[in-house]
Structure 1
Amino acid sequence: MRKTVGVLLWRAGLAALLVCGIGLLPWLSHTDPALTVLKVRSADRDPTPEVLADIRAQLGLEDGPLRLLGRWLAGLPRGDAGHSWISGSEVAPDVLGALGVSLLLMAVALVVALATAAAVCARTLHLGARRRLAGRPTGGSGSAVLAALPEFLIASVLATVVGVRWGWLPAVGWYGPQWTVLPALALGLPAGAVLGRLLDDQLPGAFDEPWALAATARGLPGRTVARKALRRCVPGLLPNLGLFVVGLTGGAVAVEQIFDIPGLGRTTLQAAIAQDLPVLQAGTLLLVLLGAVTTAAARLTARRLIGPALRDGALRSLHRPTPPPPPTVRRILPIAYCLLLSGVVALGLPRDPLALDTAARLQAPSLTHPFGTDALGRDVLARVAHGALDTLLLALAISALAWFAGVLLGCLPALSAPLVDTVNAVPPVLAALLVTAVWGSGAGTPVLAVAVVAWAPLAAHTSALLGQERATLHVSATRALGARRSYLLRSELLPAVVPSVTRHAVLRLPGIALALASLSFLGLGAQPPTPEWGLLLAENQPYAERAPWAVLTPAAVLALLGALAVTAAGAGGRGRDGGAGARRRTAKAARAQVPAPQSELVRAS
């Protein structure tokens, strides 16, 4: 009971710190809130001292930030979230309306995500149920590409091709069910691919458990075995599913911008840019509450699925230390992708990414310009190549830091769980604005903003897998024989958890690279004329109907990066000694389930 109260207080303290920090945002950034509000209300009006004084009096800014924040907090129990500093309307109805739009979009996107995850795992479930699984996940490179692509990129392609070029579905607005399809696909496809890949990574271990072998020997239908295998693996992924739910609601800022959807993410972004504090605080508070509710629901579901086994320490490890090597084709694919991407960069680097040629505006791909030109006549190939190196190096550094922080904090769930929920409720865009307010704008702002939130999914995954691994039979027996916690963590738990978390981190590497691009896409990162990937899409999207290659060719290169990263992770770390070596390793892993003698454990500890 005392531990639960402590966790609740820690969670409430983090939420209060976040909301109060946002309430102090203009004063932390040393900007005049009255001047910012005036620019948004009327950009042409001169900021005379009289005009600014009148705005300060209207908003009560002369009372100071702490009194303003106190009045806003005092109104919350009555359902009063104040009035917008920009429009003057009540905040609560507007923010709740935006939340309703985002929840509807999230529900449709979640259906798309679950269908995508089912498609990714379908072959593994089929082969495992028929006892024909070769001991490794079977997800293909198609799911790897989807998992690696960011939502704003898929949204740009769907809006350009399906909405504008083909005219099959509406690409802009929010007026009925038809308008939910494209944004839901943009949000649900990558989320479902990530969930499917994570689930596909765990299913082979479930199908090799004794209960699955016994069920097959007794003649149970393969569909029943597959359903039980899903039930066995899903609890370890529920924390990440909860993070996706919050991300599909508040983190869909770029998608809402592209499709002009009046959702909570877009409303919060506009309020943050305008420093409309009542709207920004209310939106952030709703996101934090949504994160807390979603996390609680995910934990209750996981407890209901395998709660007794966790309590009794009756699970078996899903860890498969060294799977057999992948087929030859899968070993060749990363090399082919790498050569292709390297060729694109090598061809583009000698070209000038800033050279203007107004006579060659929006030219189609040709021998002179293989990727075509943009609206200013600049070579798109040159801009893609020059923007690649810095982005990839930064993404690699952020991914390494996120992996380390995720594993470290995932080992401390009581500390990290509320922190993960709070951090996940802050979209990278809002994080970038907060970082800009505290540290100022610059090239490092997007890097720090992405790094602040990138570790949260890895920490949630680590914590969930550790919780299940601690309840395995061999760990319970090893603990009963006197092994210390340090020995268990070093020799039993981390070796079982780190490989899956590492594959998860590599799966997110392209997404981190392109999260940097998404901030530039929204105008919060690199600024023109920098040849940055996000800027390429932002600059060329208005011309997507006249020159679709200006959007689609950078999108193809980004898809190539995603395929390279994930297929390389799938092919790396596999053994080279064929089936005999794989069988020896499998037998060794099976023997590892039996705890060592007590004397050996005492010496090791």
Structure 2
Amino acid sequence: MNGSLLDASALTGRRSRRAATRRRTGLCILASVAVFSLFGPAVIGIDPARQTLADTLLPPGAAHWLGTDVLGRSVLARLAHAARLSLGLALLAAVTAAIPGVLLGVVASWRGGRIERGLVMLADAVLSVPGLLLVLLFAALAPGRYWALYIGLSLSLWVEYFRVARAASRPVLAGDAVQASRLLGFGPGYVLRRHLLPALAPVLGTLLAFSAAQAVLALAALGFIGVGLQPPTPELGLMMIECLPHYEEAPWLIAAPMALLMLLVLGMMLLVSEGEPA
């Protein structure tokens, strides 16, 4: 019996260490991309829109570490600006979606009744439209506009926060600690700050990383099919579709944005990974 307990404890410890290692790896990847996006443009010092037709499709070298595209633009400079755009817009959309989603989820669970039914119906109505299609509709209203993509992403992401916050806050509100706080006369702000938010924080942190990864992929997908941001804006999806016709003669062109996109999504997914099942 004691041996089984020790084995289970050791297995749990190994799973926790593996999960912690994955999260640290994800944080390191995202931190590296964030540093590259924030300081890369200033360090590189090259205008990502500057065209030098004499330097078309140069291979990686000392002057241009990742070579140049068909218009002679520095791939490294464009990649740094694209990383800033994708990471910044995705995080902004995810945080913007999280605030109303969490608040509405808590309100629905707290109040119940008609308010909860109305909010659930609203969430189901939004959920009935595929998220990428919703972003596409806003992008069609204002082609190439940052605010259209931002609003579309935020509207497509808030439903998940609403559903998770509503489900996770229900047992907390029904718990003895919240009931005791209410009997002692503490108001909703105290309950939210001392009981609900600490209970919701772990799952919401996981959901934030997951939704940011969704936003990054959505931006790249829209740029790749030509309905998101428009040239000459440096964006990962746009860079891939611009470099695709030249993949045979200059494969490094399409490899660079694909690798950065993979690193962004991988870093965010490692943050939400858990230990292996027993």
Q: Shorter-chain-normalised TM-score: which range?
A: 0.7 to 0.9
Tell me how far 1:459 sits from its aligned partner: 1.6
CA contact (8 A) 2:90 2:212 kept: yes
| TM-aligned CA deviation for residue 364 of structure 1 | 3.4
State the Cα RMSD in Å.
Answer: 3.8
CA distance in 2, matches of 1:558, 1:532: 10
Native 8 Å contact 1:406 1:455 kept in 2: yes
The answer on whether the counterparts of 1:399 and 1:505 sit within 8 Å (CA) in structure 2 is yes
Are residues 1:515 and 2:208 paired? no
The 1-side partners of 2:182 and 2:157 are apart by 37
**Deviation of the 1:384 alpha carbon:** 0.8
- 1:557 maps to a residue whose letter is L
Q: What is the identity, as a one-letter code, of the residue corresponding to 2:222?
A: L
User: Structure 2 stretches of 5 or more lacking a match?
Assistant: 109-115, 274-278
How far off is 1:451 after superposition? 1.4
Residue matched to 2:163: 460
Deviation at 1:518, TM superposition (A): 2.5
Among 200, 209, 234, the alignment partner of 1:531 is 234
Q: Is the 8 A contact 1:536 1:554 kept in 2?
A: yes
Q: Which residue of the partner structure matches residue 111 of structure 2?
A: none
What is the deviation of 1:369?
2.4
Q: Quote the Cα distance in structure 2 between the aligned partners of 1:471 and 1:418.
A: 23
**Would you say 1:130 and 2:1 are equivalent positions?**
no
CA distance in 2, matches of 1:470, 1:539: 52
> Does the CA contact (< 8 Å) of 1:445 and 1:525 recur in 2?
no
Deviation at 1:531, TM superposition (A): 1.3
Aligned to 1:435: 138
Instruction: Deviation per CA, 1:63-101: give whole Å up to 9, x if none.
Output: xxxxxxxxxxxxxxxxxxxxxxxxxxxxxxxxxxxxxxx
Gap regions ≥5 residues in structure 1: 1-126, 145-329, 571-605
Corresponding residue for 1:384?
79
Query: Is the 1:475–1:488 contact (alpha carbons within 8 Å) kept by the matching residues of 2?
Result: no
Q: Among residues 37, 47, 53, which one is paired with 1:352 in the alignment? A: 47
Which of 320, 342, 346 aligns to 2:35? It is 342
Q: Which residue of 1 aligns with 2:112?
A: none
* Letter in structure 2 aligned against 1:517: A
Partners of 2:86 and 2:200 in 1: CA distance: 29
Instruction: Tell me if the contact between 2:236 and 2:258 (Cα under 8 Å) persists in the aligned partners.
Output: no
- Residue 430 of structure 1 deviates from its aligned partner by 2.6
Counterpart residue identity of residue 240, structure 2: L
From 85, 97, 120, the counterpart of 1:402: 97
Residue 453 of structure 1 deviates from its aligned partner by 0.7
Which residue identity does 1:130 align to in structure 2? Answer: A
CA contact (8 A) 1:537 1:551 kept: yes
Q: Does the alignment pair 1:393 with 2:273? A: no
Paired residues of 1:446 and 1:519 also in contact (CA < 8 A): no
> Take 1:336 and 1:470, find their aligned partners in 2: how far apart are those partners?
37
Structure 1 residues 246-271: Cα deviation after superposition (integer angstroms, max 9, x where no partner): xxxxxxxxxxxxxxxxxxxxxxxxxx
Q: Map 1:222-237 to 2 at 5 A.
A: none
**Looking at CA atoms only, which structure, 1 or 2, has the larger radius of gyration?**
1
Counterparts of 1:476 and 1:530 in 2: how far apart (Å)?
Answer: 51
**Partner-residue secondary structure (3-state), 1:139:** helix
Q: CA deviation at 1:337?
A: 5.4
Work out the number of aligned pairs and report it: 255
1:497 aligned partner: 200
Between the aligned partners of 1:445 and 1:477, the Cα distance in structure 2 is 43
Partner secondary structure for residue 131 of structure 1: helix
The 5-angstrom pairing of residues 245-264 of structure 1 reads: none
Deviation at 1:400, TM superposition (A): 1.9
Counterpart of 1:139 in structure 2 is 19
Aligned counterparts of 2:178 and 2:34: Cα–Cα separation in 1: 48
Residue 364 of structure 1 corresponds to 59
Q: Cα distance, 1:535 vs. partner?
A: 0.5
CA distances 1:264-289 after superposition (whole Å, capped 9, x unpaired): xxxxxxxxxxxxxxxxxxxxxxxxxx
CA contact (8 A) 1:141 1:563 kept: no
- TM-score (normalizing by structure 2): 0.72
